[in-house]
Amino acid sequence: MADLVLTLNAGSSSLKAALFEAGGGSPREVSRANFDSRDGQTAAISAAMAWMDAGISGRRVMAAGHRVVHGGSRFHAPERLTPEVIAELETLVPLAPLHQPECVAAIHAVAEARPGLLQVACFDTAFHWGQPDVAQRMGLPRDLFDAGMRRYGFHGLSYEHIARRLETVDPELAGGRVVAAHLGSGASLCAVQAGRSIETTMGFSPLDGLLMSTRCGQLDPGAVLYLLQHEGRTPDQVEDMLYRRSGLLGVSGLTGDMRALLASPDPHAREAIDLFVHRIVLHTAALAAAMGGLDGVVFTGGIGENSAEIRARVADRLGWLGLSLDHAANGASGERRIDASTKLRAWVIPADEEAAIARGVLEVLAADR
């Protein structure tokens, strides 16, 4: 039987784990599970290890691969984790304060639970690294760009999976111009042209771009200065507000859960949804301009995969670009094409960051041979 690869995707409230067979040139999923991490990554990793031991049936686990949100300016490909690499990842915590601490905590917990197990980091920023220079720069002094202040982009493992999956389900579209929409608690769009990231809505940090569950998305930097200089907010208070108390939650004053907002009669819930859709439409048009046109749209992520209403509202606003949905297909479930055979193709492709992580681990293992 083939050896196995363990993948771990650590979040603030959950840990996603999966096992993949490493044989045959491409990873094949064996099983997956979710674990509650609200009491800390150590407890969640302990539960995941017990689950792994019960499911390996005597086979060897070759390595554990982690989703790491930020790779900074150095890490552009999957990386074997060493004490030096881990220390550098810890320096990136200020750039992704919601996510990076959880990633690093999971790495430490695995090292403690399985000291001899090879660990590999797979980065959400890596897929975007080959973008044109103009897409990576901000309008700041050059020395800051040289020091690492650039537009990194995120959700790269999700977009990598979409690009690969399109090669199988729609090769013609895979070679074209696609806006991929990762819509969930964190949300972003990516312009993917011939399988490569050209532009994306998240930039220097995971705060930028679309409205999200609790994150503000695109924001005039003058608003931050105003909060600091005239509202008497401290930097820590502003950070907490922008990351944890804004977005759908902040605009609605109710919740950051899209399902609850769609079910709510409260007009503030409708305002939050309207702003969410507006930002998606606005940025889709901008990304199409970056590619010089658009051939299709792919929806993924918790909202993108499961909310027919959000997909329909986005498509209705993008009708001028040639997007129209087949309502029966849009209301179904699973991976599927949902356009009405119009100018623009539309797909729903379930997110699978774990598969992208497993491929990254196998790349590292192959390079070691």
Do 232 and 307 fall within a single domain? Answer: yes
Q: Does 144 fall in a domain? A: no
Do 229 and 319 fall within a single domain? Answer: yes
Q: Does 363 fall in a domain? A: no
Q: Does 140 fall in a domain? A: no
Do 227 and 318 fall within a single domain? Answer: yes
Do 268 and 187 fall within a single domain? Answer: yes
Do 227 and 296 fall within a single domain? Answer: yes
Compute how many other C-beta atoms are within 10 angstroms of the C-beta atom of residue 231: 9
Number of domains in the chain: 2
Do 112 and 185 fall within a single domain? Answer: no
| 329/309 Cα distance (integer angstroms) | 12
Do 112 and 190 fall within a single domain? Answer: no
Domain end, chosen from 97, 123, 149, is at 123
pLDDT tens, position by position, for the chain (369 residues)? 689 999 999 987 899 999 999 876 689 999 999 999 888 899 999 999 999 999 888 899 999 999 999 999 999 999 999 999 999 999 999 999 989 999 999 999 999 999 999 999 999 999 999 999 999 999 999 999 999 999 999 999 999 999 999 999 999 999 999 999 999 999 999 999 999 999 999 999 999 999 999 999 999 999 999 999 999 999 999 999 999 999 999 999 999 999 999 999 999 999 999 999 999 999 999 999 999 999 999 999 999 999 999 999 999 999 999 999 999 999 999 999 999 987 899 999 999 999 999 999 999 999 877
Domain end, chosen from 89, 123, 157, is at 123
Q: Does 138 fall in a domain? A: no
Looking at residue 219, which CATH number applies to its domain? 3.30.420.40
Q: Does 79 fall in a domain? A: yes
Do 108 and 246 fall within a single domain? Answer: no
Q: Does 357 fall in a domain? A: no
List the domain range (segments joined by +) for residue 203: 171-348
Do 191 and 312 fall within a single domain? Answer: yes
CA 192 from centroid of its chain's CA atoms: 14
| 137/150 Cα distance (integer angstroms) | 5
Q: What is the 3-state secondary structure (H, E, C) of the chain?
A: CCCEEEEEEECCCEEEEEEEECCCCCCEEEEEEEEECCCCHHHHHHHHHHHHHHHCCCCCEEEEEEEECCCCCCCCCCEECCHHHHHHHHCCHHHCCCCHHHHHHHHHHHHHHCCCCEEEEEECCHHHCCCCHHHHCCCCCHHHHHCCCCCCCCCHHHHHHHHHHHHHHCHHHHCCEEEEEEECCCEEEEEEECCEEEEECCCCCCCCCCCCCCCCCCCCHHHHHHHHHCCCCCHHHHHHHHHHCCHHHHHHCCCCCHHHHHHCCCHHHHHHHHHHHHHHHHHHHHHHHHHCCCCEEEEEHHHHHHCHHHHHHHHHHCHHHCCCECHHHHCCCCCEECECCCCCEEEECCCCHHHHHHHHHHHHHHHHC
Q: Does 157 fall in a domain? A: no
Do 107 and 218 fall within a single domain? Answer: no
Do 181 and 285 fall within a single domain? Answer: yes
Do 102 and 196 fall within a single domain? Answer: no
Supply the residues annotated as catalytic: 124
Q: Does 133 fall in a domain? A: no
